[in-house]
Structure formats: C-alpha cells, structure tokens
C-alpha cells in the first residue's frame, strides 16, 4: 500500500503560514538534506490548491540542470486536491475533486511509489483527521512567530501519533517524524 507523507516547517507556537518570513535564519545543510531526502523518497506529490499554485509558479521556471529538485518535481506525477482548479498547467498534474477521501483511498491502494507533501497545512490537517496521513515530518523551529495559520487550528480532534524518529540540528531545529499510533 502506498503511503502519504507530509513535511512542514512549523514554529514553536504551531505556525505554519509564510515560513519564508521566519524559516531561513535556521536553514542549513542539515535541514536541506532532511527535506531533500523526504522529497526523494516520494514518487508522486500531493498538494492542496494554494501550495500547488505557489509551486506551479516557481518550479517549471527553474533550470533542471542547476536544480535537481526542479527536474524531479516537474517530471513526477502531481495530485492537487481542489474543488476550484479545473485546468492545471503544470505538466503531469491531476486534480482530485469531489470524493477526495475515496479518490485518495483508491490511489493509496494502487501499485506505485509513495506520495510526498510539502506545505498544504489545511490538507495535512484534513488527512490526519480522516486517518489518511501515514507519516508527518515536522521541522520545529526555535521561534515563536506569534501570529499566522496554525497547523491544528481547525478543530481536528484527537489524533494519536507515535514519534518514530527525532534529531536536533545545530540551529536548534527539531526534525520530528510521527506515524499513526
């Protein structure tokens, strides 16, 4: 069975919004390798609409010879959960609308590589609540942002998780991996 794995930058106070405004002082080679390893482990990308729009505006314009991540993301299958996106322009993109739970359950049962997610916190929360997220990677930054969208602000309810891996980077960022309990 295919897994869905999500990775997020998150502050100590749970903020996941606009990491580009608070995350970069903590970025180093350790974090870069952790993020790259997670992305390499996935054969397909699962995105919410807003994250898809950000990625689709950026990655197709990058030179794959200079940025191997561009080559990987542009060539790999992408699935976007959206009720409003109808005509995705980024190559190899499929829109999942309607019965999202049913569609993702079916995709997970098909043969193939795992799904990776970067960002898309609204979708991550929904996947957790629905029991569809298999692994959650949190890069917890040692900063209190104070305001912004938090990962668990939508009344998700209790979701028992098991910490399966942890590492502390030299910048103080915690690299935590959780699976369903």
pLDDT digits 0-9 by tens, 147-178: 999 998 767 788 999 999 999 999 999 999 99
User: Is 95 in contact with 85 (CB distance < 8 Å)?
Assistant: yes
Instruction: Classify the phi-psi angles of 157: left when phi > 0, otherwise alpha if psi is within -120 to 50, otherwise beta.
Output: left
Phi, psi of 141, deg, nearest 5: -90, 140
Task: State how beta strands 115-118 and 44-48 pair.
Answer: parallel
pLDDT digits (tens, 9 = 90+) for 15-31: 999 899 999 999 999 99
What does the alpha-carbon distance between residue 141 and residue 23 come to, in Å, rounded to a whole number?
7
Instruction: Name the nearest CA neighbour of 3 among 148, 96, 134.
Output: 134
pTM score, whole prediction: 0.91
Share above pLDDT 90 across residues of the chain, in percent, rounded to a whole number: 75
Domains and CATH numbers, the chain: 4-180 (3.40.430.10)
User: Strands, E, within the chain: which ranges?
Assistant: 4-11, 44-48, 78-81, 93-96, 115-118, 135-141, 161-168, 174-180
DSSP, residue by residue, 44-83? EEEEEHHHHHHHHHHGGGS-TTT-HHHHHHHHS-EEEE-S
User: In this structure, are residues 13 and 144 in contact, taking their beta carbons and an 8 Å threshold?
Assistant: yes
Say what the pLDDT of residue 69 is: 81
**How many CB atoms lie under 10 A from the CB of residue 99?**
10
Buried-exposed string 133-157: b where 16+ CB fall within 10 A, e elsewhere: bbbbbbbbbebebeebebbbeeeee
Distance, in Å, from the CA atom of 134 to the CA atom of 76, rounded to the nearest integer, reads 20
């Amino acid at each position: 069975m295919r897994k869905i794995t999500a990775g997020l930058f998150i502050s100590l106070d749970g903020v996941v919004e606009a990491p580009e405004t608070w995350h970069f002082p903590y970025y180093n080679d350790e974090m870069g390798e952790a993020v790259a390893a997670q992305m390499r482990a996935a054969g397909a990308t699962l995105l919410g609409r807003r994250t898809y729009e950000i990625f689709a505006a950026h990655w197709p314009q990058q030179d794959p010879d200079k940025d191997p991540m561009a080559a990987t993301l542009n060539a790999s299958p992408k699935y976007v959960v959206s009720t409003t996106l109808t005509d995705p322009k980024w190559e190899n993109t499929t829109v999942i609308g309607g019965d999202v739970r049913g569609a993702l359950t079916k995709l997970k049962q098909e043969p193939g590589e795992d799904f990776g997610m970067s960002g898309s916190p609204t979708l991550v929360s929904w996947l957790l609540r629905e029991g569809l997220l298999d692994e959650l990677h949190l890069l917890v930054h040692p900063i209190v942002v104070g305001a912004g969208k938090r990962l668990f602000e939508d009344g998700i309810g209790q979701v028992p998780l098991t910490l399966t891996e942890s590492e502390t980077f030299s910048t103080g960022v915690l690299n935590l991996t959780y699976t369903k309990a």
